[in-house]
Amino acid sequence: MLSFIRCVAKFFSNFQRASLACFASLATLLAAPLQAAEFPSAVLAIVVDDVGYNLAQAERLLKAPGKLTLGILPFAPHSPAIARRAQIAGKEVILHQPMEPIATPYSHSERGTLTMQMSAEHFNQHFADALAAVPYAVGVNNHTGSLLTQHREPMSRLMRKMRARGLFFLDSRTTAQTVALSTARDWQVPAIRRDVFLDHALDRKSMNHEFDRALRIARRQGHAVLIAHPHRLSLDVLEERMASLPSDIQLTTLGDLVKARVNPLDRTMLARRETPRFLHRSLGQ
């Protein structure tokens, strides 16, 4: 019996010494200065829309320094070829799906535009055809769509199909009244929204201002999504700025950003808790 008591006493003595050692190690760890590498960089996802009409423009994008997402129109002359070359070059591909805009004297509808008047069958077939025309697409964003994206019924129809295919969605925000993002989240489709348009005004000073604005947003909220278009000047600015990106900003693809921001097990809760932090500009298309 005495030997048993001694054994128990030795156990608790050793346990106490081990516990004190663990607490001392923890205190040392907490007191140590944190290294910069322990903090994630702010990330920037750059999306270039309206790709598919010009091979020379596409070649510049495929050679751009760093990660880039190409928004490819479904029925432009070179869309399938560009999508295949982008996949080989390691650039991300999404479908830049045309959607119905609010009618103006300047509005123009691309082939394959999803409209309010379409039957469900016609709508779904148009979307399936568009996806088939852009191989390797891993997500979708809207081309124009200032009318369609205001209405939950067609957006629900779209998100139902996207969820079945495992695609993510980028709301280009061509109208402040868009319900596309909230509808995507209702359907548990991974989704994010555009923060900045690079080339709303086609001059270098304005584009550099917008790029700088995207960097400020990324630093403030940890990420930013910048949409550009394949104008010659836009590509010049992108090439220059991507090659000289500040050390605290890291380029990422849109898909990787969406995965990092959305917990696939609880997207609905995150969607309900998230609130906008700043106003977004709109092309009104």
| 3-state secondary structure string across 28-61 | HHHHCCCCHHHCCCEEEEEEEEEECCCHHHHHHH
**Would you say residue 272 has pLDDT above 80?**
no
Task: Please give the pLDDT value at position 275.
Answer: 37
- Those residues whose C-beta lies under 8 Å from the C-beta of residue 84, and which sit 6 or more positions away, are 135, 136
**Would you say residue 37 has pLDDT above 70?**
no
**Would you say residue 179 has pLDDT above 50?**
yes
Q: Which domain holds residue 256?
A: 45-273
Task: Please give the pLDDT value at position 33.
Answer: 40
Is residue 4 one of the residues assigned to a domain?
no
Rounded average pLDDT over 117-145: 98
Task: Please give the pLDDT value at position 39.
Answer: 41
Is residue 168 one of the residues assigned to a domain?
yes
Task: Please give the pLDDT value at position 108.
Answer: 81
The model's pLDDT over 75-107, given as tens digits with 9 standing for 90+, comes to: 999 999 999 999 999 999 999 999 999 998 888
Is residue 186 one of the residues assigned to a domain?
yes
Cβ(81)–Cβ(134) below 8 Å: no
Whether the model pTM is above 0.85: no
Cβ(156)–Cβ(243) below 8 Å: no
Both tokens of residue 285? 């298309």
Rounded average pLDDT over 151-172: 98
* Collapsed DSSP state (helix, strand, coil) of residue 174: coil
- 281 or 51, which is more confident: 51
Is residue 39 one of the residues assigned to a domain?
no
Is residue 232 one of the residues assigned to a domain?
yes
Is residue 10 one of the residues assigned to a domain?
no
Task: Please give the pLDDT value at position 64.
Answer: 95
What is the DSSP code (8-state) at residue 278? S
Task: Please give the pLDDT value at position 6.
Answer: 57
**Would you say residue 284 has pLDDT above 70?**
no
Both tokens of residue 195? 């923060």
Cβ(239)–Cβ(65) below 8 Å: yes
Is residue 87 one of the residues assigned to a domain?
yes
Is residue 161 one of the residues assigned to a domain?
yes
Task: Please give the pLDDT value at position 47.
Answer: 98
